[in-house]
Amino acid sequence: MPVEGIPGIVLIGMPGAGKSTIGGLLAARRGMPLVDTDHLIELREGESLQSILDQRGYLALRAIEEQVLLANDFTGQIVATGGSAVYSAAAMAHLKRFGLCVFLDIPLDEITMRVQNLESRGIAGPPGLGLAQVYAERLPLYRRYADMIIDGAGLDESGLLAELETALTSV
């Protein structure tokens, strides 16, 4: 069941934080649809995030992401955002209209272990920027937009999901 009084849940966090995976598990448990905004971008553009980055650059990808987020109604859905959604204040304000914004806070060392395909992952950042720099740049933005922060340090998928569900019961 959807959480009473919360029309939806918006998951934010770094690539590799588990937004899509945890979002899918949470959606299945609550009988809510999941939307992965990276997939919405790829559907609209007809190409992968990495292809967009390679052909048009990271600023173009961020602009497309903002357009896609602003153009969609996310009522009653679990939303797994792309890691760069937080670069757009307008998109984040729009997303927050549809539900609680939850930051899946995974430490950099764990993100580094999870994200081994940095060059092909479609991470919208300046060329040559390493994962540590992207993390440092985004962390304050994730915290700024979060209504709730889930500390995922050392947790596997089931542990992270349990922490999220426990936190949601107290809202």
DSSP secondary structure, the chain, as one string = -PPTT---EEEE--TTS-HHHHHHHHHHHHT--EEEHHHHHHHHHTS-HHHHHHHH-HHHHHHHHHHHHHH---TT-EEE--TTGGG-HHHHHHHHTTSEEEEEE--HHHHHHH---TTTS---S-TT--HHHHHHHHHHHHHHH-SEEEE-TT--HHHHHHHHHHHHHT-
Up-side HSE of residue 3: CA atoms within 13 Å toward CB? 20
Is 21 flagged in the annotation as binding?
A: yes
Is 30 flagged in the annotation as binding?
A: no
Is 120 flagged in the annotation as binding?
A: no
Is 20 flagged in the annotation as binding?
A: yes
Is 114 flagged in the annotation as binding?
A: no
Is 38 flagged in the annotation as binding?
A: yes
Is 130 flagged in the annotation as binding?
A: no
Is 84 flagged in the annotation as binding?
A: no
| C-alpha to C-alpha distance for 114 and 112, rounded to whole angstroms | 5
Is 83 flagged in the annotation as binding?
A: yes
- The annotated binding site is made up of 16-21, 38, 62, 83, 121, 138
- The annotated binding site for ATP is made up of 16-21, 121
- The annotated binding site for Mg(2+) is made up of 20
- The annotated binding site for substrate is made up of 38, 62, 83, 138
